[in-house]
Amino acid sequence: MLKHVLRIFRSDFRSWVPTIVVIGLVTMLIGACMNQFVWTNSDGFVTAATDAGLDPAAFGIVSVTIYVLVAVLSFFVLTVVGSATVERTRNTFAQWRLAGASPRQIRVSLWSLVGLASVAGALPGSLLAIGLSVAAVPLFNQMAAVSFPGGIGGFEPPAFHPSALAWAASFSLGVVTCMLGALLPSRRAAGVEPVEAVRGLVTRRRRGAWARRVLGALLLAVAFTLAFAGALAPAHPEVGVEATGMVNAAIQAGLFAAGGVYVLGAELAPAVLALARTLLRPFRSAAVGVLATRSARANVDTNANTIAPLAAAIGLAGVIFSVMQSYQVTMREAGFPQSSPNYSDTVVMTGLFGFVCLLTSVAVITLSGRDAVREQALLRTAGMTPRQVFALTGWQSFLLALCAAVFALVPIGIAGSLLMSRSNLLVGHPILNVPWIGLTIAVLACWGTVFIVQWVQIAPWIHRENALSLRRA
């Protein structure tokens, strides 16, 4: 079986390259954080910080934001990649079931394939993390020390040396997290009956849907509870304490809401697509768009893996910048004007988060490239022209971007309601500053990127014989 797994991987290696790049990039970030943690907790570093009159623990406190961001990023990205890998190969293994393979053999093969892809990305990523750590970790700690009260004093950190423990931990975390994303999808794929694969009903009976619904509902319930409790809680007499609590509570509610939408993506996407189809039906010129909604609903599992990273990136970025801007306005109107804010570090981190999430969606689309080639061949066989296929691709990418935008509004709305209620207690009227222009640009960028990636996959086949496209798929 392993021989066939290797053959699958080699036969379409180009489709796996974006996945390998994503895994490698996230593993590299994990490795840099692990080296930061090991170095700042070493005896030499602690001694140097203490001699300079600095608190060694303060370096860890400064790093917490980056640790949390990378942890959330790793969970979102690697679990999506693992799930998408299984979805990509499920039809192949369903044919194995038809040929007599047992569910256990399918499960082992799927895990072997996901493990192969994760190792191929995590190994170079963990090695690149060594170079990134050498360049970035000492510089980051110097910058952190400058921001401490009293400056850096006589702080001279010891020479930085990459840690073998950090390398092993980053490699292991990259592989294990990616494998975790394949756990439930692989069980679902292995449990498909051969007759269902023949009838094409594989995607209609998703096992474990109840577990996702319960978990997603629980996360959303926590987010709504935080927002509701924040609206009812009395204001703290100290403005600074109240404003800080408002910021923390809003970010927490936004994180829980983003997690709930991420888990419920496959369940919520059909509702958004159905609404879009209802709105498009009265327009005869939007017949291709109506067809695109049906196609998107038929491939809801793969599309959910595409939408989830985009929604997480847009939603969390919207929450962070809404909270920061609303906090600045609230403090100014409360009589405590802040100095000119410097969002450069936040912009860099959220930009990195968004880039990796967008690259994750690209990896998911690339993995389903053969399905896209087969679909356009079948449509052209049914009478569609290449121009109509081009329009269909545009509609499909638009619908995915639309779903991502709708999902992103959930955490922004929940966090925003809390900001409005708490700011009303502070200054007498609700305050909410949402960066709508930036969010719109982000959604349009997602639409354009998804469209380009989808079109590039099918463009070389659009003018070829349908039989060639079907044979390739």
For 230-249, give one letter per residue: b (16+ CB within 10 A) or e: beeeeebeebeebbebbbeb
The answer to whether the CB of 434 falls within 8 A of the CB of 324 is: no
Q: Predicted confidence band at 447 (pLDDT cuts at 50, 70, 90)?
A: very high
> Would the pLDDT of 303 be above 90?
no
pLDDT at 338: 63
pLDDT at 198: 58
- Work out the average pLDDT over 356-384: 80
- Closest listed residue to residue 372, CA positions, set 342, 358, 393, 356: 393
Q: Which pLDDT value is given to residue 205?
A: 47
Query: Among candidates 122, 105, 114, which has minimal Cα distance to 180?
Result: 114
Contact 273, 399 (CB under 8 A): yes
Number of helices (H) and strands (E), helices first, in the chain? 18, 0
pLDDT one-digit tens code per residue, 384-421 = 888 888 988 999 999 999 999 999 999 999 999 999 98
From its phi and psi, is residue 151 left (phi > 0), alpha (psi between -120 and 50) or beta? left
| Cβ pair 304, 266 in contact under 8 A | yes
Q: What percent of the chain is modeled with pLDDT above 70?
A: 82
Which of 327 and 94 is assigned the larger pLDDT? 327
Per-chain mean pLDDT for the chain: 80
Residue 311 and residue 316: Cα distance in Å, rounded?
8
Please compute the mean of the pLDDT values over residues 169-182 and round it to a whole number: 82
**Among the listed ranges 7-11, 341-345, 424-428, which one has the minimum average pLDDT value?**
341-345
Distance CA 402, CA 406 (A): 6
What is the reported pLDDT for 280?
Answer: 87
Ranking 134-143, 192-201, 213-222, 341-350 by mean pLDDT, the lowest is 192-201
**pLDDT at residue 203, rounded to an integer:** 47
Show the tokens assigned to 92: 């192949």
User: Greater confidence, 318 or 209?
Assistant: 318
Q: What is the DSSP letter of 102?
A: -
Using one digit for the tens of pLDDT, what is the confidence trace for 180-225?
Answer: 777 776 776 677 666 655 555 444 445 557 777 888 889 999 999 9
Rounded (10°) CA dihedral 111, 112, 113, 118: 90
Q: pLDDT confidence of 154, banded at 50, 70, 90?
A: low
DSSP string, 216-281: HHHHHHHHHHHHHHHHHSPPPSSHHHHHHHHHHHHHHHHHHHHHHHHHTHHHHHHHHHHHHHHHHT
Cβ–Cβ under 8 Å, residues 414 and 253: yes
Integer Cα distance of 82 and 241 in angstroms? 42
Which carries the bigger pLDDT value, residue 307 or residue 64?
A: 307
Residue 260's CB: how many other CB atoms inside 10 A? Answer: 25
350 pLDDT above the threshold of 90: no
| Predicted local distance difference test score (pLDDT) of residue 342 | 60
pLDDT digits (tens, 9 = 90+) for 265-295: 878 888 888 888 888 888 877 888 888 888 8
Residue type, position 360, single letter = T
Quick check: 93 and 114 in contact, CB under 8 A? no
Of the ranges 99-113, 248-262, 451-465, which is most confident? 248-262
Q: Quote the longest CA-to-CA distance of the chain.
A: 78
Which of 11-20, 63-72, 146-155 is the most confident on average?
11-20
Task: Give the pLDDT of residue 265.
Answer: 80
